[in-house]
Amino acid sequence: MSLLEVEDLDVYHGQLQALRGFNLSVAQGETIAVIGANGAGKSTLLRAIAGAHLPARGRVLLNGSDVTRLPAHRRVAAGIALVPEGRRLFKSLTVEENLTTGTYRARPGDWSVGAVMDLFPWMRERAKQNAASLSGGQQQAVAIGRALLTNPAVLLIDELSLGLAPSVVRQMYKILPGIAARGTAVLIVEQDVSQALAAADEVHCLLEGRTVLSGKPADLTSAQVEQAYFGLEPAVREGN
């Protein structure tokens, strides 16, 4: 059985429909990437899964239980953690203090502050440093660490590469296999197509709130991905 299932999700921003009949299934330890241009509905999808934006129709299931109407803090306690776009750290707090905010609704599990600092060794030297003084890549690492400290079953990462240098993006992506190896399902929203395809077990391409292409990266051609991303091919192609 899938760990996370999204069924026929419709989500609106006022009169604008951001997601249209979206479906997704993520297994334990699986990494799924959702790609698409700005305005495709990617961030809305993660917010709907995390409980920050209620859908007009459809369901979100976690371990077979319907969490669609649960508030965000209860979804964290159930096992869904979001790394938001732009990191959203508490700039007045230290690195360590930002990390420990993730323990407030934490589930039992292996992730501790020490385990996060093992994943990002530089944090030990800068544990008492103010988060506002960190580089963009370091702030992203703290945001990921904070989410991991909830001991999530599902980790949602919104725009992992946003505003980061390519070398830093590569470093961020290198940690994902280790997270998935612990059994955590990882769902990434990303505009960096090459990184997403390299890291994911399966990819979904969104266009105007709909899945227009999905499948294992090895089974998708560059032409298919390009056509789906830019809306050059109107036919829906799923399961390739």
Tens-digit pLDDT profile for residues 202-238: 999 999 999 999 999 999 989 999 899 888 744 444 5
Q: Give every strand in the sheet of 31-35, ordered side by side.
A: 80-83, 154-158, 185-190, 31-35, 202-207, 210-215
The residue count of the chain comes to 240
Rounded CA-CA distance 95/113 in Å is: 10
Torsion of CA 87, 93, 94, 95, to 10 degrees: -20
| pLDDT attached to residue 238 | 53
The residues pairing with 76 across neighbouring beta strands, listed in sequence order, are: none
Rounded CA-CA distance 187/34 in Å is: 8
- DSSP state at residue 42: H
| pLDDT attached to residue 235 | 43
pLDDT confidence bin for 15, thresholds 50/70/90: confident
Domain ranges in the chain are 4-230
pLDDT digits (tens, 9 = 90+) for 29-69: 999 999 998 888 999 999 999 999 999 999 999 999 999 99
CA distances from 124 to 93, 116, 142, 167, 184 (A): 15, 10, 12, 22, 24
Higher pLDDT, 110 or 156: 156
Alpha helices for the chain (secondary structure H) = 42-50, 72-78, 95-100, 113-119, 122-125, 136-148, 166-174, 176-181, 193-199, 222-230
Instruction: Determine the 3-state secondary structure of 187 from DSSP.
Output: strand
pTM for the complete prediction?
A: 0.90
User: Which fold would CATH assign to domain 4-230?
Assistant: Rossmann fold (3.40.50)
Torsion of CA 158, 161, 164, 168, to 10 degrees: 120
pLDDT digits (tens, 9 = 90+) for 139-175: 999 999 999 999 999 999 998 887 788 888 888 898 9
